[in-house]
Amino acid sequence: MELADFIDHTNLKPTATVSDIQKLCDEAIKHHFYAVCVNGCNVAVAKKAIKESPVKLAAVIGFPLGAMSTKAKIFEAMDCIDHGADEIDMVINIGWLKSGMFDAVREEIKVIKEAIGETVLKVIIETCYLTDAEKEEACSLAKDARADFVKTSTGFGTGGATYDDVVLMKGIVGDELKIKASGGVKDQATAKKYIELGVSRIGTSSGPDLIK
């Protein structure tokens, strides 16, 4: 596989304009990236922009804090799918996890996955706010809830992906779930290292730079 096949070309900035999203999609088509990843309000714009290309469309929900109600996250996910999203990247309720409310975290992931069915669900655990034990617990909960991916970060926290976190996550999910590294992946050498560690997808706003 080519490096481009791993890239979710991303623009989740609150200031992203329609032309910014169009540019994101044009770059994804040009460079044959796997997907674009956008906020919910930009799903319809992105879907139109990628047209009949093979580029997939991922949308974030509960982003970037994860602190919305489960009902709101489900509504957001279904709205994104209705407007053309192929994949959903959800942020877990970090406060619940840190409170030891593991059943609630698992159930939220589970009901969102049940609601979206065959649509790919990536679970963002926001590693920068978690202890290693909490990261392991979050991965186990995502696996139990039958998510498709665990994802390191939103890119809006205090830190992004790290090699150590990916190794830790891989140790918990093995080959049962895929892993997406996101946040701070800005050069080709870093991206290739993540792939060597077992990452299946890389979320980055620097896609064109990664494949130069």
Q: Closest by alpha carbon to 141, among 109, 115, 165? A: 109
Cα 154 to chain centroid, rounded: 7
Question: Is 89 considered catalytic here?
Answer: yes
Cα 210 to chain centroid, rounded: 18
Total residue count of the chain as it appears in this document: 212
Catalytic residue, candidates 8, 47, 89, 165: 89
Burial degree of 93 (CB within 10 A; 0-12, 13-18, 19+): buried
Token representation of residue 54: 């093979």
Classified as helix, coil or strand, 196 is: helix
Catalytic residue, candidates 143, 148, 151, 165: 151
Report, as residue numbers or ranges, the catalytic residues: 89, 151, 180
